[in-house]
Copies of this chain bind each other. A is one copy, B any other.
């Protein structure tokens, strides 16, 4: 598996190049950031060279389309999606992800129909560029009632939704936090095929009853109670060999320096990967 970083959890880093340098210095294999922004800043050739210089790959870009609001907002994002996909392709990035909130102010069934159509189109466009779309189910219990109507939050619901979307390039973004807050087990992971997983997020949870765990209160891998060795070794066992990106959502920006935070992340990764026998 490839160890990766997102900016989430690393404090105030500054430029993308600084982010790349930090990740590279700490021995990470990949970063998740906007390919399009990288090319806009450094040019296509410059961006490619930057990634080569720091020996980093791009794990995933974020889906730059507002598929949760109204139709005008959705359509307004499609030109940017084609540009984002073209940029990702130029930088060898083949993954694009979005998260699925577990409740909604819209009528659930109707919103599911709208979202199915919208995400299918996103997947179709991404597929033309050789990019897969990862859907992240979101487990924390408080979000299930944060908006008026329940939507979906379990892995099985998300797999069923992926079937309903029906495109070959759609799969899961599997986040350890949501695996934990859904009370999923190692056996649940072992039922997956590796190509059902588009991307993986790594982070840890405080020692709280699962119902009390907040979405933006995550901690560094190895510092909490999630069975990350079980999580990682199960992924390895089923043949998943791709990116595992840290994403630490916190209530406020950490005050340590990015260097300290990256080091902490590195230590966490080493600890849990070692415990997983990887």
Contacts and interface: CB of A to CB of B under 8 A. Distances in A.
Interface of A: 74-76, 78-79, 81-83, 86, 89, 107-114, 116-117, 120-121, 124-125, 127-129, 149-152, 157, 160-161, 163-164, 166-168, 193-195, 239, 241
Contact of A113 (B82, B124, B152): B152
A124 B120 CA distance: 9
Given A79-B83, A166-B168, A149 B116 contact: no
Given A79-B83, A167-B168, A168-B166, A113 B110 contact: no
Nearest to A160: B113
Contacts of A157: 107, 109-110, 113
A107 B164 contact: no
A193 B241 CA distance: 12
A111 B114 contact: no
Contacts of A86: 75-76, 78-79
Contacts of A160: 110, 113-114, 117
B117 A112 contact: no
Contacts of A78: 82, 86, 125, 128
Nearest to A154: B110
A79, A114, A157, A241: which has the most chain B beta carbons within 10 Å?
A79
A76, A124, A167 — most chain B CB neighbours (10 Å) = A124
